[in-house]
Structure 1
Amino acid sequence: MARIAFILLCHKDPEAIIDQARRLTRTGDYISIHFDARGGKETFEAIKNGLKDNPNVAFATKRIKCGWGEWSLVQATIYALEAAEAAFPRATHFYMLSGDCMSVKTAEYMHDFLDRNDMDYIESFDFFTSDWIKTGIKEERLIYRHFFNERTQKWLFYQSFWWQRRFGLERKIPDDLQVMIGSQWWCLRRRTVEWILDFIKKRKDVMQFFRTTWIPDETFFQTLVPHLVPEHEIQTRTLTFLMFTDYGMPVVFYNDHYDLLISQDYLFARKISPEAKELKKRLGDLFAAKGIQFKISNEGRSLFEFLTGRGRDGRRFSQRFWETESSLGRDRELLMIVCKKWHVAKRLVSQIKAKTDIPCLEYLFSEENTPLPDLGGIEKSLEKRTRHRRAWVRMLLDYFETDRMVVCIDPAGLDLIRDFYNDRSGTRLLEIECEFSDEYLTGHAKRTGLAGDQTPEDALERLLPTIRADINHEGDRIRDAEFENYDRISQSKTPEENARPLARFLDISEDDAREIVSMHYLFSD
């Protein structure tokens, strides 16, 4: 059976460290602790005294002072790994943790998971071709030597950097290494750790290279593991659930995140708030439990993006110069149907196509595979359609040899609507107002990744009011914009009442409009 040696890097809160070590070792696993030398001798002695009677606890072979972005973080990890490998010969896996991490599954579940999957778990993406690094220096992390800490010695860091660049003091990456990058939270098998420790002793050139790279905790193990281990034995992912905000800061979890965390396809989560006492207790009790069945819905990231994105206005893409100058044409008219229930809009469009000669297209800015004519390949990319929206619609008008066209737009696309209204062409807008049952909203949450088949009912009950409010908010924003030539049909009105606004929108007779909206299943789910 799998037995885990946890590798814990920490620098504060001795009571929490003692609690974490006791919790993780009470089911037969082990822990090796490196406590930052900056934390003080007395604090470290308190930790040692609190755990002195626990045979499943070891301490790093040496304590050093650690700094963000420095080699010291990797060296501290190596010291803790060396101690764990020597002290715990029965450990089958080594799992990297911080003091802010907490288990989100039972030890029983973790052992079974690792027994069933004989793999190393570590993010390792190609340093140069991946987009893992979003901002800041990239290649310069490797080809220049970094002796100073960017956060505490900023002036020296950048002076050293610019002098090396000015005088061309670039260095070579070791020839046999493909540098990889990824999260520092990994889980490795014993054989892999033994290979790494042996490699460290033999390859002084590689060690010297990484000692002066910038942020090596994101590249050192991530490079060595695929260098030493066959590709088919590596899962390029972390088993620790973590998310980052738009500002690059880790998302912090609180007491009300328990249901979300245990339903993710991960073994641990980071970062747990120090104030989340109830969450820590519940997760701590869960770790030692037996016979728990977990329903994995794994909607955490999409749910976070949805909730943090609510209420934001503005463009997703900035305009290019050719888009700013493009126009549909002064004598042309774009008819936009806005509806959150896409199937309702599509039914209406099918009737419009059957009863009129107006070309109609469905959600061409929302659906990758919406039916479109062949226009040289641009129609295959949803991003290109959106980025070059006016030029794209002008091409469609030319293709259909028409001056009028109907398109469907999701209510979330307010920026699209505004952009087309800013064009010198004519523009009309028809909103389809629908009713949303809890059953429909549940299906919507699952279709969009906000929930899964295994999401608990109580979690859904808390989520549905937020989704309903978000949909209502999108409709309110469109009405508050006070667009000209705006009409609305509604599920709550009769075909006779809906015929009048549809007739104005399409510029057809009310009799023809009534025939279009009289479809008995138009609003059915």
Structure 2
Amino acid sequence: MAKIAYILLCHKDPKAIIAQAERLTATGDYIAIHFDSSARAEDFRAIQAALGDNPNVVFARRRISCGWGEWSLVQASLYAVEAAEAKFHDATHFYMLSGDCMPIKSSVYIHDFLDRNDKDFVEGHDFFSSDWIKTGMKEDRLHYRHFFNERGQKWLFYQSLEWQRRLGLSREVPKDIRVRIGSQWWCLRRRTVEALLDFVRERPDIKKFFKTTWIPDETFFQTLVWHLIPEPQIECRTLTFLLFTDYGMPVNFYDDQYEMLMAQDSLFARKISPEATKLKGKLGALYSDDEAQFAISNEGPRMHAFLTGRGRIGRRYAQRFWEAESSLGRSRELLIVTCKKWHVAKRLLHQIAPQMNLPMVEYLFDEEDTAMPDLGGVESTLAKRTRHRRALVRMLMDHYDTDRLLICLDPKNLDLIQDFYSDRCTTRLLEIECNFTDEYLMGHARRVGLIAPKTPDESIDRLMPTIRYDVVYESERLKEADFPNAYRIREWVSPEENTNALAAFLTLPQDTARKIASADHIYAD
């Protein structure tokens, strides 16, 4: 059975560190602690006093001051790894943690997972060809020597870099290694750690090179593991669940995210907010719960992107320059039916079809498999259709030899509707307003990937008000746009009340429009 030596780098909150160490060692595992030498001395003394008699705890043989982006973080990790490797001879795995990490699975689950997966878990993307680095310097991290900390010594950091550039003091990466990059939160098998420590002792040139690179905690272990271990024995991911904001800062997790964290395909999570006392209590109890069951849905990143992206998507629209001269034609008329319930809009089209000679295309910008004629490839993907929206509609009109076409759009496509309204053609809009049950909204969330079949009910309950609000918000945006020739029919009103809107939208006689509005089962789910 797996025996884990946790490698804990920390610099604050001695009570949380003590609780973390006691929790992890209570089930028979080990922990090696490096406490930053620049932190308060009394905090370290408190940790030593609480854990000094615990045989499953070891402290790094030397404490150093650590700075973000510096070699010191790697060196501190090596000191802790060396201490754990020397003392805990039966440790099978070494798992890197910070003081902000907490388990999101039970001890039984974690050990069973490692027993079933005889691999090293460490990211290792190619440094030069991958896009893992989103912002800031890239090649200069390696090709120049960094002696100063960019955060605390900004002027010296960039001045040193500029001097090296001017003097031509760039350097090459050691020729026999391929630099890799990834998350610093890894889990390695014992034989991998032993091979890595031996390699560091045998190759001082490698250590010397990384000592003056920038942010080596994202490259040192990653590069060496992938250099020493056959690729089939490595899984290129971290077992610690973490998210980042648009600005590259770690996302903090709070009390209301317990079920979401449990559902991730990870063993630990970072960062748990210091204020999330209830969450910490639940996760602490979860770790020792041998009967806990986990339904892995892994929807955390999508849910986070959805919730943080609201308010930024679809709020602005500007015409693309390559479409400026594209037009459907002044003499043509485009009719748009928009409804969140796609089946309702399709049923309405089926009622309209026998009453008038009007070509109709269902959700052509929303549904990949919408029935469409061959238009030379522009219709082949949703991306192409949307990119060439006016050209597509013009070609459809030409194909059907008509000056009038009816299409369906999801209400989220406000930019498309605005674009068609800005054309020289006549555009008419019919919005179908429906009632939305929780069951329907849940199905919608599954279809768009916000929730998975195994997402816990508690997570769904918290997400439902936001999904409902987004549906309402899409309708409100259409109203606020105040489009001309815009009409609405509503599920909750009588067919008589909907007849006038249908007659005006389709330019049909009242009797014909009433027949369409009175059709049975249009709104049934």
What band does the TM-score fall into relative to the shorter chain? over 0.9
- The match for 1:18 is 18
Separation (CA, whole Å) in 2 of partners of 1:216 and 1:410: 47
1:97-176 matches, within 5 Å, as: 97-176=97-176
Alignment-derived partner of residue 223 in structure 2: 223
2: CA distance, partners of 1:498 / 1:142: 68
Contact 1:7–1:94 (Cα < 8 Å) also in 2: yes
Residues 281-309 of structure 1, C-alpha deviations (whole Å, 9 max, x = no match): 11111111212112222222222222223
Question: Aligned-pair distance for 1:429?
Answer: 1.2
* Alpha-carbon distance in 2 for matches of 1:423, 1:153: 55
Q: Is the CA contact 2:336–2:406 (under 8 Å) kept in the aligned structure 1? A: yes
Contact 2:319 2:419 in 1 (8 A): no
1:21-32 maps to which residues of 2 (within 5 A)?
21-32=21-32
Deviations 1:158-214 (A, max 9, x none): 223333344544322222333222211111111111121122222333323322222
Structure 1 spans left out of the alignment, 5+ residues: none
CA deviation profile, 1:91-142 (whole Å, cap 9, x unmatched): 1111111111111111011001111111211222222332222222222222
Describe the SS at the equivalent of 2:291. coil
Partner Cα separation in structure 2 for residue 371 and residue 61 of structure 1: 69
After TM superposition, the structure 1 stretch with the greater mean CA deviation from structure 2, 341-350 or 471-480, is: 341-350
8 A Cα contact 2:260 2:456, kept in partner: no
Residue of structure 2 in register with 1:434 after alignment: 434
Structure 2: which amino acid aligns with 1:273? S
- Would the alpha carbon gap of residues 168 and 470 (structure 1) be closer, same or farther in structure 2, given more than 3 Å must change? same
Q: Which residue of structure 1 aligns with residue 481 of structure 2?
A: 481
Kindly tell me: are residues 285 and 500 of structure 1, through their superposed partners in 2, closer, same or farther at Cα, counting changes over 3 Å? same
Contact 1:67 1:73 in 2 (8 A): yes
Within 2, Cα distance between the matches of 1:266 and 1:415?
A: 38
The aligned counterpart of 2:310 is: 310
Change (3 A) 1:394 1:222: farther
Letter in 2 for 1:464: M
Alignment partners' CA distance in 1, 2:413 and 2:226: 43
* CA RMSD of superposed structures (Å): 2.5
Tell me by how many angstroms 1:76 deviates: 1.4
Matched-pair contact (CA < 8 Å) for 1:319–1:387: no
TM-score scaled by structure 2? Answer: 0.92
Once the two structures are overlaid, the 10-residue window that deviates more, 41-50 or 347-356, is 347-356
Going from structure 1 to structure 2, the CA distance change for 1:307 and 1:204 (only over 3 Å counts) comes to same
* Other-structure match for 1:58: 58
Between the two proteins, what is the percent identity of the paired residues?
A: 64
By how many angstroms is 1:315 displaced?
5.3
Measure how far apart 1:42 and its partner are: 3.4
The DSSP-based 3-state class of the residue aligned with 1:322 is: helix
- Letter of the 1:415 counterpart: D
Deviation at 1:503, TM superposition (A): 3.3
2:294 counterpart residue number? 294
Report how many aligned residue pairs link the two structures: 525
Shift of the 326–175 alpha-carbon distance from structure 1 to 2, 3 Å rule, reads farther
Does structure 2 conserve the Cα–Cα contact (< 8 Å) formed by 1:18 and 1:51?
yes
Q: 1:381 to 1:157 in 2, by over 3 A?
A: farther
Mark the CA change 1:399 to 1:160 in structure 2 (over 3 Å): closer, same or farther.
farther
After TM superposition, the structure 1 = structure 2 runs for residues 459-478 of structure 1, keeping only pairs within 5 Å, are: 459-478=459-478
Which residue is equivalent to 2:81? 81
Going from structure 1 to structure 2, the CA distance change for 1:29 and 1:438 (only over 3 Å counts) comes to same
Superimposed CA distance per residue, residues 17-67 of structure 1 (whole angstroms, 9 cap, x where no aligned partner): 111111111111111111112114333222222210111111123222111
Partners of 2:378 and 2:388 within 8 A in 1: no
Offset, 1:439? 1.6
Residue 270 of structure 1 is matched in structure 2 by 270
Deviations along 1:321-340, one digit per CA (max 9) or x if unpaired, are 31344333333333222111
Aligned match of 2:192:
192
Deviation at 1:514, TM superposition (A): 4.7
Q: Distance in 2 between matches of 1:372 and 1:148?
A: 61
**Which residue of 2 is the match for residue 360 of structure 1?**
360
Deviation at 1:239, TM superposition (A): 1.3
Structure-2 separation of matches of 1:146 and 1:157: 7
Quote how far apart the aligned CAs of 1:316 are.
Answer: 7.5
Report if the CA contact (8 A) 1:255-1:276 is conserved. yes
Could you tell me how far apart the structure 1 residues matched to 2:467 and 2:155 are?
48
Runs of 4+ displaced beyond 6 Å: none
Any gaps of 5 or more consecutive residues in structure 2? none
Relative to the length of structure 1, the TM-score reads 0.92
Evaluate the alpha carbon distance shift between residue 178 and residue 509 of structure 1 in structure 2; reply closer, same or farther with a 3 A threshold.
Answer: farther
State the alpha-carbon separation in 2 of the partners of residues 373 and 131 from structure 1: 38
Q: Deviations over 1:414-465 (max 9, x none)?
A: 2222232233332211111111112212222222233233333343333323
| More moved, 298-307 vs 21-30 | 298-307
